[in-house]
Structure formats: structure tokens, C-alpha cells
Structure 1
């Protein structure tokens, strides 16, 4: 769901209720500005963000599978996210 900041202020109760079941994008001057999420969804995303695999925790078979893995072509656009990244 997308709403302008004016719509958000005018319909605060309705929009916040909607955010309990789906993300609501709040726009300003036609541009995405904020995303309103339920506290439960925010907590889920935070938990996922902290999931890690310790280095050295992979078997030789796992490493071989990772080395052979290919990214499906429909995800090529994600390379643009890394174009300015440096080690």
C-alpha cells in the first residue's frame, strides 16, 4: 500500500491498522519517504539481520557447492547494488 504523507495524517488509524498486515509506503512529493511496518514484522526482520554463519563452519562439500552455485539471471539487477562497493 502507498499513501501520501497528507493521506497518512488524515487517515492515521486506517493506515496504521493496514500496516499490521502489510508494509505501507508513505510518500512525499511523489517520492518514497518512509515505510510503516508492524512491530512484529520489524522484529522478524531484525532477527533475520543478525543471522550469521561462523567462518570455518562449512564442510568441504558445502564449499564445493557454493563455488559451483550460479545466481539466476532474473537477479542480475542485484549486481547494480554492489557496483560502487570496495573491499
Structure 2
């Protein structure tokens, strides 16, 4: 990711807008990254991957019952190893 100071970004905004179409541009203030400029396509790609997190307490009884009945599809048995030492 390209890093640029806020002052340089302000002086050359068009240049960095063009560069952001190819790779994210991190804008720094006092040497620390403060924001990132990226293409609309990349932003939309990331937003599609967004997930809404819910607490278990927010689930309805019907949703909990559906989760309890769910089965892991064939081909994912290797993930059982990930849970072998898990404690609730």
C-alpha cells in the first residue's frame, strides 16, 4: 500500500486518486496512517464481504433450532481438528 503525507495528498490529489484506482493509498498525518483512499470497485468488494454480528441472546428460538439441526457438508471434516481443544 502506498503511503503519502496529508500535505502531499492535498497538493497532488488528482495523482493519488488515479493511483488509488490500482492500489490503496494510505494518507498519513504526523507520520501515522489516518485514512485510506481506494477505488469504488475495491470498496464495494469489501462491503459485499461485510457481515452483521449478532449476539446469541438476539437469536429467536426458531433460529437456534435451525442451527442445532444444521449439519456440516461433506468435505469439511478437516475443520474438526480446529475444535478439538475448544472449551465453551
Aligned length: 66
Q: 1:67 to 1:27 in 2, by over 3 A?
A: same
TM-score when scaled to structure 1?
Answer: 0.65
What are structure 2's unaligned runs of at least 5 residues? 52-65, 83-87
Whole-Å Cα distance in 2 between the matches of residues 8 and 57 of structure 1? 51
In the alignment, structure 1 residue 68 sits paired with structure 2 residue 81: yes
Whole-Å Cα distance in 2 between the matches of residues 2 and 58 of structure 1? 43
Question: What's the offset of the Cα at 1:44?
Answer: 0.5
RMSD (CA atoms): 2.3
The correspondence of residues 13-24 of structure 1 with structure 2, limited to 5 A, is 13-24=14-25
Helix, strand or coil at the partner of 1:18: helix
Helix, strand or coil at the partner of 1:66: helix
Helix, strand or coil at the partner of 1:49: coil
What are structure 1's unaligned runs of at least 5 residues? 70-86
Question: What's the offset of the Cα at 1:57?
Answer: 5.1
